[in-house]
């Protein structure tokens, strides 16, 4: 790792001002992606600003209609939170599938979303559940937040403060895991809102990051069942193709994971 300066911020405002002072600063949340990238010298920030101990960024609030997760809340704390398990069990289950137990103790929802890895899990939940990403400057709808491979609507120095998920009528996440990295070779999150809207998001599949899957949403609108997807064909256009799986393979996985997710959601 190249030389860097570490700063522990005690408030969101302090973090923003530390960021502005650095030449090429980066925010550090759980560090489970940023630190490996820095160790490989693929990133060399002049300053890293640690957000993980800012009290205003930690915690979970659950009401009848919404689950609000503050940005520096760890995957472990989301996965094991009894209120999240009750309100949106699919979200707690997803958090419990990220990486391995040691990674889940450190990794955070804000870090995962800001990084927007094309095979990360949380982006699928945020997009399918139509969550709102709140930052220190504004609120961003899920449809506007994700902008391609490792790209988001976040501006330089903008800090995610919390993510607000509407409680759905039904939801489930199914992930075909890469056995070594635990990233999604393809993961699909299906959700039916209380108003009856259906949203389906796939991660790990598209070369432009998390995406909604219109063909599956359409089929589930007329019939919410795994069987309704039997006749659906997913195009392999724009899907990733690598040593782990071809674009065609991933296209098929989108359908199969969606069917399993619908069956699980009930």
Q: Footprint of other proteins on this chain (CB under 8 A)?
A: 1-8, 28, 31-32, 35-36, 38-39, 48, 50, 52, 76, 99-103, 105-106, 180-182
Q: β-strand 5-8 against 47-50: which pairing, if any?
A: parallel
Counting DSSP H helices and E strands in the chain, the numbers are 11, 12
Q: How far is the CB of 230 from other proteins (least distance, A)?
A: 31
Q: How far is the CB of 3 from other proteins (least distance, A)?
A: 6
Rg (CA), the chain: 18
Q: Based on the number of CB atoms within 10 Å of its own CB, is 24 exposed (0-12), middle (13-18) or buried (19 or more)?
A: exposed
> By C-beta, is 1 or 227 nearer to other proteins?
1
Q: How far is the CB of 212 from other proteins (least distance, A)?
A: 30
Distance CA(172)–CA(229), nearest Å, equals: 16
Tokens of 2: 């190249």
Q: How far is the CB of 41 from other proteins (least distance, A)?
A: 11
- Check: CB of residue 235 under 8 Å from CB of residue 160: no
Please state whether 238 falls in left (phi above 0), alpha (psi between -120 and 50) or beta. left
> By C-beta, is 6 or 156 nearer to other proteins?
6
> By C-beta, is 17 or 225 nearer to other proteins?
17
- Check: CB of residue 123 under 8 Å from CB of residue 116: yes
| β-pair partners for 72 | none
Residue 227: count other Cβ atoms within 10 Å of its Cβ: 11
Name the DSSP letter for residue 155. Answer: P
| β-pair partners for 198 | 192
3-state secondary structure 124-168: HHHHHCCCEEEECCCEEEHHHHECCCCCECCCCCCCEEEEEEECC
Q: How far is the CB of 183 from other proteins (least distance, A)?
A: 11
Tokens of 109: 């929802």
> By C-beta, is 34 or 133 nearer to other proteins?
34
> By C-beta, is 100 or 156 nearer to other proteins?
100
> By C-beta, is 40 or 222 nearer to other proteins?
40
Q: How far is the CB of 100 from other proteins (least distance, A)?
A: 3
Q: How far is the CB of 144 from other proteins (least distance, A)?
A: 31
> By C-beta, is 7 or 199 nearer to other proteins?
7
């Amino acid at each position: 790792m190249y030389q860097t300066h570490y700063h522990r911020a005690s408030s969101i405002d302090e973090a923003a001002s530390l960021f502005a002072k650095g030449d090429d600063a980066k925010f550090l949340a759980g560090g489970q992606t940023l630190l490996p990238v820095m160790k490989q010298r693929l990133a060399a920030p002049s300053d890293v600003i640690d957000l993980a101990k800012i009290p205003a960024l930690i915690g979970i609030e659950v009401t009848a209609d919404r689950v609000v997760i503050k940005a520096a809340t760890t995957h472990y704390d989301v996965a094991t939170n009894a209120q999240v398990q009750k309100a949106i069990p699919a979200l707690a289950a997803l958090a419990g599938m990220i990486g391995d137990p040691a990674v889940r103790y450190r990794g955070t929802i804000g870090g995962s979303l800001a990084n927007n890895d094309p095979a990360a899990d949380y982006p699928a939940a945020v997009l399918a559940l139509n969550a709102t990403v709140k930052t220190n400057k504004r609120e961003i709808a899920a449809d506007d937040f994700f902008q391609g491979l490792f790209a988001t609507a976040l501006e330089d120095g903008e800090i995610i403060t919390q993510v607000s998920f509407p409680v759905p009528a039904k939801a489930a996440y199914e992930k075909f895991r890469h056995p070594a990295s635990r990233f999604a070779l393809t993961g699909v999150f299906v959700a039916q809102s209380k108003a009856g809207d259906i949203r389906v998001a796939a991660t790990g599949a598209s070369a432009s990051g998390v995406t909604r899957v219109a063909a599956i949403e359409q089929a589930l609108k007329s019939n919410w069942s795994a069987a309704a997807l039997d006749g659906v064909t997913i195009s392999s256009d724009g899907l990733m193709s690598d040593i782990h799986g071809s674009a065609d393979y991933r296209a098929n996985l989108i359908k199969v994971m969606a069917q399993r997710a619908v069956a699980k959601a009930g």
